[in-house]
Amino acid sequence: MNHLKDDTSTRSRYLDWRFWLRQSLSYSLITAASAGTVLFVSGRMAPNATSLSFGSNDDLVYEQVQFSGEAAGPPANAVEDSSYSVAQATGTERLVSGANFIAEAVDRTGPAVVRINSARTVVSRRPGVFNDPFFREFFGDMGIPDQPSQRVENGTGSGFILDANGTIVTNAHVVEGADEVSVTFKDGRELRGEVIGEDPLTDVAVIKVDASELPTVTIGNSDALRPGEWAIAIGNPLGLDNTVTAGIVSATGRTSAQIRVPDKRVDFIQTDAAINPGNSGGPLLNERGEVIGVNTAIIGGGAQGLGFAIPINRAQEIASELIATGKVDHAYLGIQMQTLTPALKERINTDPRANLSLEAESGVVILGITRDSPALRAGLQLGDVIVSMDGRSVTEASEVQQIVADTAVGDAIAIALDRGGQTVEVSVSPGAFPTQTSRR
């Protein structure tokens, strides 16, 4: 009898384990840091396990359970408790439990995402060759108009409502040169938009519409982003309004040079959420539906899954200045520069046209100086190698750009240069970048 009882108990445990395993697999078991660690959505603990509660949602307690010794079975009464499931993180937990966090995020933010239509007049002038007397003698006018011709170009982008009184954030390139701007809301309304200001260096613009009690977005914190987090894009790509795509944050802190827009003064969020023409200016969201970025750029050449967004913390700073003054003053020196590498040094030193001799092994070499610029007035020269700024060693061109960007217009920067092997110290006061655009 005892032997039979032991067999029955063993078989019962075996069946319970099989049921628990099927239950777990049906909810797509996701392992965590190690093979012996899983995240349970349950108030119970596995036998021989230790538990650390790390959060809660909808009255469920999420516990990280580390099995000790031999593999442990399911928590007590797991077979009877159909709510027992396995998950990885907040967003995934809701997917596992049947709720779609992407749809929830879109429901919260979608009404505050708008389509922006812009129209600009483009003047086409007759090429100079047609004015050549020789050409006109042999070919006549050939129907070529004497007066410049005009045409209207239409563009479409996206944006999102920052406040209930009609302040909208988008990209500067969406409204660049626009004579007319209109804003179409998700409910079908269309209102005339006024461009308050544009900042080409960060590609941020602010539009105002005459309305009130509009739906608004919730702003997140882009400084806290980590690669691997969920990313959701909403916009109007290729004329397809209210399109939603999802992926992850692929990287943060991508420099403008890395994404092939060296004229911009901003670091970017990289995402594999699909971004296409027309998405520009729309929001990039986290799993809670908070705006973490402004979708801006893609890399061409057949690349896929390479989209970029302006971090919302930076975009909000720029938007605040545009709302207050209609423009943003960016400090600049007026130089063209490149990180000095052994290959670049050799190329410059062996090029007779350069007429330069570089001795420094590292730093940032000046390859061009703008006329009437702060750099020229301070005495910087072609071939100078920047080795430090305000006592900080400099080895990358992006470091120079960041130091200048962090300096107020008019404040002096102490720069140490290597000039043909000699150390030269100068003081440069950055000026305001000369191409700011204000519509006021």
Q: Please report, as a single letter, which amino acid is at residue 281.
A: G
Q: How many CA atoms lie within 13 A of 75 on its CB side?
A: 23
* SS3 category, 377: helix
Closest alpha carbon to 285 in 303, 309, 267, 262: 309
Following DSSP, what letter does each residue of 175-207 receive, concatenated? Answer: HTT-SEEEEE-TTS-EEEEEEEEEETTTTEEEE
Do 237 and 363 touch, CB atoms closer than 8 A?
no
* SS3 category, 48: coil
* Contacts of residue 409, Cβ cutoff 8 Å, sequence gap at least 6: 329, 331, 430, 431, 432
Distance from C-alpha of 363 to C-alpha of 366, rounded to nearest angstrom: 10
Would you please indicate which residues are annotated as catalytic (active-site) residues? Answer: 173, 203, 280
CB atoms within 10 A of CB 268: 26
Distance from C-alpha of 311 to C-alpha of 292, rounded to nearest angstrom: 6
